[in-house]
Amino acid sequence: MATPGATVASQEEASDLRHKLERWNHEYHVLDTPSVPDSEYDKALRRLQALEKSYPELWDPASPTQRVGAPPLEAFDSVAHPVPMLSLDNAFSDEELAGFLRRVKDRLDVDILPELVAEPKLDGIAVSLIYRDGVLERAATRGDGTHGEDITQNVRTIGSVPLRLQGEDWPEYFEARGEIFMPREGFEAFNERARAGGEKTFVNPRNAAAGSLRQLDSRVTAQRPLEFCAYAAGEHPADAWPQCHWDVLQHFKSWGLPISAHARRLKTLDDCVAYYEELAVERDRLPFDIDGIVYKIDSFAAQTELGFVARAPRWAIARKFPAQEAMTRLLSVEFQVGRTGAITPVARLQPVFVGGVTVSNATLHNMDEIARLDLHSDDSVVIRRAGDVIPQVVSVIAEQRKSQAAPIVGPSSCPVCGSPVVRVEGETALRCSGGLVCPAQLKAALRHFVSRRAMDIDGLGEKLVEQLVDRGLVRNVADLFALQAGALRDLERMGEKSSNKLVAALEAGRKTTLPRFIFALGIREVGEATAESLALHFGSLEALAAADTEALETVPDVGPVVAQHVQQFFASPRNRAVVDALLAAGISWPAVAPVGAEDGPLAGQTWVVTGRLESQSRDEAEALLKSLGARTAKSVSAKTSVLLAGPGAGSKLAKAETLGVEVIDEAAFLQRVGASS
State the maximum Cα–Cα separation within the chain, in Å, rounded to a whole number. Answer: 93
**CA atoms of 676 and 674, how far apart (whole Å):** 5
> How many residues in total does the chain contain?
677
Contact 656, 663 (CB under 8 A): yes
Residues sharing a CB contact under 8 Å with residue 250, sequence separation 6 or more, in sequence order: none
Contact 266, 115 (CB under 8 A): yes
Contact 283, 321 (CB under 8 A): yes
Q: What is the dihedral sign for C-alpha 7, 12, 15, 18?
A: negative
Burial 386-400 (b: 16+ CB within 10 A, else e): beeeebbbbbbbeee
The pairing of strands 606-610 and 631-633 is: parallel
Contact 633, 608 (CB under 8 A): yes
Q: How many CB atoms lie within 10 A of CB 249?
A: 21
**CA atoms of 170 and 131, how far apart (whole Å):** 9
Residues sharing a CB contact under 8 Å with residue 301, sequence separation 6 or more, in sequence order: 243
**CA atoms of 233 and 128, how far apart (whole Å):** 9
Q: How many CB atoms lie within 10 A of CB 555?
A: 21
Strands (E), 413-549: 421-422, 430-432
**Distance from the first to the final alpha carbon of the chain:** 91
**CA atoms of 596 and 46, how far apart (whole Å):** 62
**CA atoms of 53 and 65, how far apart (whole Å):** 11
Contact 380, 329 (CB under 8 A): yes
**CA atoms of 394 and 388, how far apart (whole Å):** 16
**CA atoms of 251 and 242, how far apart (whole Å):** 9
Helix axes 666-676, 618-627, angle to 10 degrees: 30
- DSSP letter string, 377-411: TT-EEEEE--TTSPPEEEEE-GGG--TTPPBP---
Strand partners, 232: 177
**Which of these, 629, 609, 619, 615, lies nearest to 677 by C-alpha position?**
629
Q: Where in the sequence numbering do the catalytic residues fall? A: 121
Alpha carbon separation from 484 to 184, 212, 272, 459, 461 (Å, rounded):
47, 60, 59, 14, 17
Q: How many CB atoms lie within 10 A of CB 179?
A: 23
